[in-house]
């Protein structure tokens, strides 16, 4: 444990709030479990990539891991539809059949965009770091992969 979880655990132990394993489980669930009233499917459906692909993947995994019975095609569709438009079109055109294929293609296209932006205009693609302090210009068209 670390961070807020460790602080909570230490406080509960010092105050003799955890008297048994079952009380520990009940208390940790009450403190850290997500609300059963939150629509995780809706949250997943509305996600959009605003930073790096890696951060977007983490955003998608968090609600997806809590949804039981989510069809894999739905998860794949949500993931692709929320991608940055420059990456979305490239990945969608290649019609990946699995989430593993989609994430691999997504990372490949992000790297391609970063190389294009850095080498031709000295700017960084959104959500990535660059030695340049300037930002990505949406008016620059990224290269497309041949079909």
- Reply yes or no on whether the pLDDT at 130 is more than 50: no
| Residue 75 · residue 64 · CB < 8 Å | yes
Confidence of residue 135 (pLDDT cuts 50, 70, 90): very low
**pLDDT tens per residue across span 111-123:** 988 887 665 555 5
**pLDDT tens per residue across span 84-116:** 998 999 999 999 999 899 999 999 999 988 887
* pTM score above 0.75: no
DSSP 22-53: HHHHHHHHHHHSPPTTS-HHHHHHH----S-H
**Hey, how many other C-beta atoms are within 10 angstroms of the C-beta on 77?**
14
Question: Average pLDDT in the 46-66 region?
Answer: 88
């Amino acid at each position: 444990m670390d961070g807020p979880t460790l602080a909570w655990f230490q406080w509960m132990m010092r105050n003799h709030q955890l008297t048994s394993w079952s009380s520990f489980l009940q208390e940790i669930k009450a403190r850290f479990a997500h609300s059963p009233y939150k629509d995780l499917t809706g949250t997943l459906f509305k996600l959009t990539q605003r930073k790096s692909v890696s951060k977007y993947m983490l955003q998608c995994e968090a609600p997806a891991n809590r949804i039981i019975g989510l069809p894999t095609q739905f998860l794949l569709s949500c993931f692709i539809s929320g991608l940055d438009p420059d990456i979305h079109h490239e990945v969608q055109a290649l019609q990946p059949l699995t989430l593993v294929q989609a994430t691999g293609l997504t990372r490949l296209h992000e790297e391609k965009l970063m190389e294009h932006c850095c080498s031709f205009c000295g700017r960084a693609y959104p959500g990535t770091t660059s030695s340049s302090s300037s930002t990505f210009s949406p008016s620059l068209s990224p290269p497309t992969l041949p079909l």
